[in-house]
């Protein structure tokens, strides 16, 4: 069964693959396929494959995702602060208004 794959690799890895392809006089896609097959064969024979550090583009993508999450959280926090500020301001404005029976003397009611 044939499967089409799409993946991203960094510039250094592309250079290594292209060098391998030039040495064997094959296309880049064939070189990638040969390298994958060689890695699987090595793994099946009991060899171990050392996991390397994350590539720089993977770290960048992860940082971008984290930054988007931080932006979302900050925008929610900003909206909450605005709501609380509005609520406090409204309550303060209500309390600042004078209620007639507290702001007038009793004889001022009789004059009406």
Q: What is the pLDDT of residues 44-81, one digit of tens each?
A: 887 766 656 656 777 788 889 999 999 999 999 999 99
Distance in angstroms (rounded) separating the CA atoms of residues 79 and 86: 11
**Residue showing tokens 């303060």:** 92
- Other CB atoms within 10 A of residue 31 CB: 19
Distance in angstroms (rounded) separating the CA atoms of residues 5 and 23: 24
CA atoms within 13 A on the CB side of 10: 10
Percent of the chain exceeding pLDDT 70 equals 76
Distance in angstroms (rounded) separating the CA atoms of residues 36 and 49: 12
For position 10, what pLDDT does the model report? 79
**Which H or E run contains 32?**
helix 28-44
């Amino acid at each position: 069964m044939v499967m089409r794959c799409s993946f991203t690799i960094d510039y250094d890895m592309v250079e290594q693959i292209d060098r391998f392809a030039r040495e064997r006089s094959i296309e880049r896609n064939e070189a990638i396929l040969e390298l994958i097959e060689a890695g699987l064969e090595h793994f099946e024979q009991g060899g171990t494959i050392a996991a390397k550090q994350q590539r720089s583009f993977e770290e960048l993508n992860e940082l971008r995702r984290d930054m988007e999450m931080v932006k979302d959280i900050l925008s929610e926090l900003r909206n909450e602060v605005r709501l609380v500020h509005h609520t406090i301001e409204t309550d303060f404005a209500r309390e600042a208004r004078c209620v007639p029976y507290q702001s007038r003397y009793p004889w001022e009611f009789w004059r009406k």
